[in-house]
Amino acid sequence: MISKYKSTTSTDSRSFSNKDSRPATRRPNYNSPLSASRPRTVVRPGLSSPAVKTNRPQFQNTTRATLRGPRLPFRPVFAASGALGSLRIMALGGLEEVGRNMMLIEYNKEIIIVDMGLQFPEEDMLGIDYIIPNISYLEDKKDWIKGVVITHGHYDHIGGIPHIMGRIGNPPMFMGKMTAGLVRKRNVEFYSCPNLNIKEIDETTKVKLGQNFNLEFLRVNHSIPDCFAVIIDTPLGRVVHTGDFKIDFTPVNDKPADLNRIAQIGAGGVLFLLSDSTDATHAGYQISESAIGDEMGKLFEKITGRIIIGTFASQLSRVQKIFDHATKYGRRVLLQGRSMNDNVEVAHQISYLKFNPRLLVDERDVNKIPDSQLVIIGTGAQGEKGGAFLNKVVNGEHRLIHFKAGDTVIFSSSIIPGNERSVQTLMDKIVRQGAKVINYRMMDIHAGGHAKQEDLKLMMRLLKPEFFMPIEANHYMLRAHADLAEQVGIARDKIFIADNGQVVEFKKVNNQVVGALTKEKINTDYVMVDGLGVGDVSNVVLKDRQMMAEDGMIVVIATIDVKTNDIIGNPDLISRGFVYMKENKDLIEKTRMIAKKIVKDQAGSLPIDEDFIKNKIRVDVGQFLFSQTKRRPMVLPVVIKV
């Protein structure tokens, strides 16, 4: 679509080599309702001081309603001289799922990458640990990649790093201090990952990447510290990628939402906004993390037995409040789960978590502490199987901890869609063992990390983008966010609801910016990590695993005399997960005779066609077994020549 606002070509030269060097920007529109009065002195963004007046809008005493104002016209902030190319933006993941987030911004053979996450497998992806983005588009473009920005430290944004960085030339990476600590901690486990060139950033950092990208960073609130939105100035205009965010004015161990800075970015002109859509279907505003801490404090005051809290290992703000309440009410804390221990260790080392180390108790000493003086924080609140703490305890697999009467188990997390049955089963088992369960439906003991509808609309009203694309969610969430964008005045034909791999392209035509969701689509097929293997499990393998899981398998072993090409004896059959052979002798015998006949029919051919025999056994035996049982076991023919 064509923007009705003309982009202006500028020869402005920006230097990003020094944090204190600030780029000159277009004078803001002082007629905007966001600026109550015109300041006498205008300074460049970011150079405010007590002695200098700034043009930054003042919101301290402003309600959300007064921020709605009309949309400002789009004004590109930075444009290079000479011929302009096309700006291409495409997602390698994160537009059809929650997870696997990875966005590419490309201009004139230069690329920057935002995030590099993983996605946890679906229930039918048997044996798969997780899924990472498909980078086949980048493999012959290593020289184009100028940098990687990581918005925050959740696995759906950092999980692909050890598998991908070495394959794209190990470009420089930019991330917050907490995120850097988590990335370094995890990458020690991957011998194939190169030594990463990590540069730590904060909200004052400015970076120039290549000839076409100037980056700034906006600190945002989420459920983990050190989260940033990315502001990318390109020759065709400004692109803003929010990352995961919510608007929290009273966060824990973090700075409150900076509406002044957000509005300032919008006043400078935003061509394209890519915004978090995870909670776009939820009405209202997101709850503040500090409110959750207050509710948690009430529970600590009342409960006399053990307090066992299940939450996400990345919910470090929640962990901080638990530590605070444990200290206040004279309790010690036991951490359970490797990811929980790792995250707390990293956060404490860089002072994001503040507590006396003596607060923590060693697992070996847990039974020496009275129940009234103990808090246990662990993972598994989503009903995860395997080594998750709550699952191990409820199944009697934990060597030291067992649920008992007097325990209170707090599920301090909402249920991820798709996990409802697993969580309900887990809670049922806990209650059967005598413990009491409290969850987020009973009281405010969980705040999400993502903006709800009113927060999303506020972000759009402040940034006032010309074009908009919802990201980081399933399609129906993207659609809901697109509807919100229309409500705040963004034209429907300038809202792009894309799939993974679809290319959004901007061009300058007749001095006007043209944006479109193209038909071009790059490869974003799943790359699955299975143990030490990366990308070596295909959909065919998954289908085979699903078949074996549902209907089992049967092995047909035929021994052939190489001199006569005739079968020796009867074929042997091995059944696993299909039928119990001793109780189905008639079925097994008929199957054996079918396989024998297939081999005998080929006895006269010289040389014997082994592949044909295997294929024929696979098809005919499979059809026969389905006709008899209505099940399709995997048939594995084996031909042995003697």
**Which of 416, 439, 462 is where one domain is finished?**
439
Q: Is 202 annotated as a binding residue?
A: no
**Which of 407, 439, 471 is where one domain is finished?**
439
Q: Is 263 annotated as a binding residue?
A: no
- Of 278, 276, 331, nearest in space to 307 by CA: 331
Range of the domain at 117: 87-285+449-530
Which pLDDT does position 71 carry in this prediction?
44
> Are 132 and 255 part of one and the same domain?
yes
Token pair in block for residue 79: 């444009």
> Are 425 and 523 part of one and the same domain?
no
Length of the chain: 642
566 exposure class (CB count in 10 Å sphere: 0-12, 13-18, 19+): middle
454 exposure class (CB count in 10 Å sphere: 0-12, 13-18, 19+): middle
Residue 63 maps to a domain = no
Which pLDDT does position 447 carry in this prediction?
65
CA 204 from centroid of its chain's CA atoms: 26
> Are 268 and 295 part of one and the same domain?
no
Q: What is the DSSP string of 257-309?
A: P-HHHHHHHHHT-EEEEEEE-TTTTS-S-PPPHHHHHHHHHHHHHH--S-EEE
Residue 73 maps to a domain = no
Rounded-to-10 torsion of CA 590, 594, 600, 602: 180
Low-confidence ranges of the chain (pLDDT < 50): 2, 4-82, 443-445
Which pLDDT does position 605 carry in this prediction?
65
Cα distances from 580 to residues 588, 590, 628, in angstroms, run 10, 15, 15
Token pair in block for residue 608: 């014997």
Q: Is 446 annotated as a binding residue?
A: yes
Beta strands in 495-590 (DSSP E): 502-509, 512-521, 527-530, 533-534, 553-560, 572-576
Q: Is 447 annotated as a binding residue?
A: yes
SS3 of residue 409 by DSSP: strand
> Are 264 and 353 part of one and the same domain?
no
444 exposure class (CB count in 10 Å sphere: 0-12, 13-18, 19+): middle
Total number of domains constituting the chain: 3
One-letter amino acid identity for 292? I
Q: Are 456 and 284 in contact, with CB atoms under 8 Å apart?
A: no
Produce one character per residue of 169-199: b if its CB has 16 or more CB atoms within 10 Å, e if not: ebbebbbbbbbbbbbeebbeeeeebeebebe
Q: Is 222 annotated as a binding residue?
A: yes
SS3 of residue 614 by DSSP: helix
Q: Is 601 annotated as a binding residue?
A: no
Q: Are 237 and 513 in contact, with CB atoms under 8 Å apart?
A: yes
> Are 225 and 137 part of one and the same domain?
yes
Q: Is 154 annotated as a binding residue?
A: yes
Rounded-to-10 torsion of CA 262, 266, 270, 274: 30
Cα distances from 558 to residues 433, 570, 615, 618, 633, in angstroms, run 53, 7, 13, 12, 18
Geometric angle at alpha carbon 14, from 12 and 17, rounded to 5°:
170
> Are 306 and 163 part of one and the same domain?
no
> Are 271 and 195 part of one and the same domain?
yes
pTM here is 0.74
> Are 333 and 394 part of one and the same domain?
yes
SS3 of residue 509 by DSSP: strand
Q: Are 267 and 465 in contact, with CB atoms under 8 Å apart?
A: no
Geometric angle at alpha carbon 355, from 351 and 358, rounded to 5°:
130
Q: Are 617 and 595 in contact, with CB atoms under 8 Å apart?
A: yes
SS3 of residue 226 by DSSP: coil
Query: How far is Cα 86 from Cα 260, in angstroms, rounded to an integer?
Result: 31
215 exposure class (CB count in 10 Å sphere: 0-12, 13-18, 19+): buried
- Of 102, 184, 181, nearest in space to 145 by CA: 102
> Are 351 and 279 part of one and the same domain?
no
> Are 413 and 562 part of one and the same domain?
no
Residue 623 maps to a domain = yes
Its sign, for the CA torsion 514, 516, 521, 522, is: positive
Which pLDDT does position 417 carry in this prediction?
63
Query: The domain that contains 364 carries what CATH number?
Result: 3.40.50.10710
Which pLDDT does position 83 carry in this prediction?
56
> Are 153 and 249 part of one and the same domain?
yes
Helix or strand run (H / E) with residue 99: none
Q: Is 449 annotated as a binding residue?
A: yes
Q: Are 445 and 438 in contact, with CB atoms under 8 Å apart?
A: yes
> Are 525 and 545 part of one and the same domain?
no
Query: How far is Cα 546 from Cα 137, in angstroms, rounded to an integer?
Result: 30
Query: How far is Cα 124 from Cα 488, in angstroms, rounded to an integer?
Result: 40
Mind telling me the catalytic residues? Answer: 276, 450
Which pLDDT does position 69 carry in this prediction?
43
Strand order in the sheet with 130-132: 130-132, 527-530, 533-534
Q: Is 226 annotated as a binding residue?
A: no
Q: Are 508 and 271 in contact, with CB atoms under 8 Å apart?
A: no
Which pLDDT does position 539 carry in this prediction?
64
607: preceding bond cis by omega (within 30 degrees): yes
Q: Is 20 annotated as a binding residue?
A: no
Residue 203 maps to a domain = yes
Angle 338-349/316-328 helices, nearest 10 degrees?
Answer: 80
Q: Are 340 and 348 in contact, with CB atoms under 8 Å apart?
A: no
Q: What is the DSSP string of 446-506?
A: ---SS--HHHHHHHHHHH-EEEEEEESS-HHHHHHHHHHHHHTT--GGGB--PPTTEEEEE
Residue 71 maps to a domain = no
Helix or strand run (H / E) with residue 173: strand 173-175
Query: The domain that contains 629 carries what CATH number?
Result: 3.10.20.580
Query: How far is Cα 247 from Cα 628, in angstroms, rounded to an integer?
Result: 61
Residue 42 maps to a domain = no
Residue 19 maps to a domain = no
- Of 191, 128, 114, nearest in space to 157 by CA: 114
Residue 15 maps to a domain = no
SS3 of residue 371 by DSSP: helix
**Which of 439, 469, 503 is where one domain is finished?**
439
Strand order in the sheet with 2-6: 2-6, 512-521, 502-509, 87-93, 102-107, 110-114, 145-149, 173-175, 198-200
Q: Is 530 annotated as a binding residue?
A: yes
Query: The domain that contains 163 carries what CATH number?
Result: 3.60.15.10
Query: How far is Cα 618 from Cα 612, in angstroms, rounded to an integer?
Result: 10
Pairing mode of beta strands 436-439, 408-411: parallel
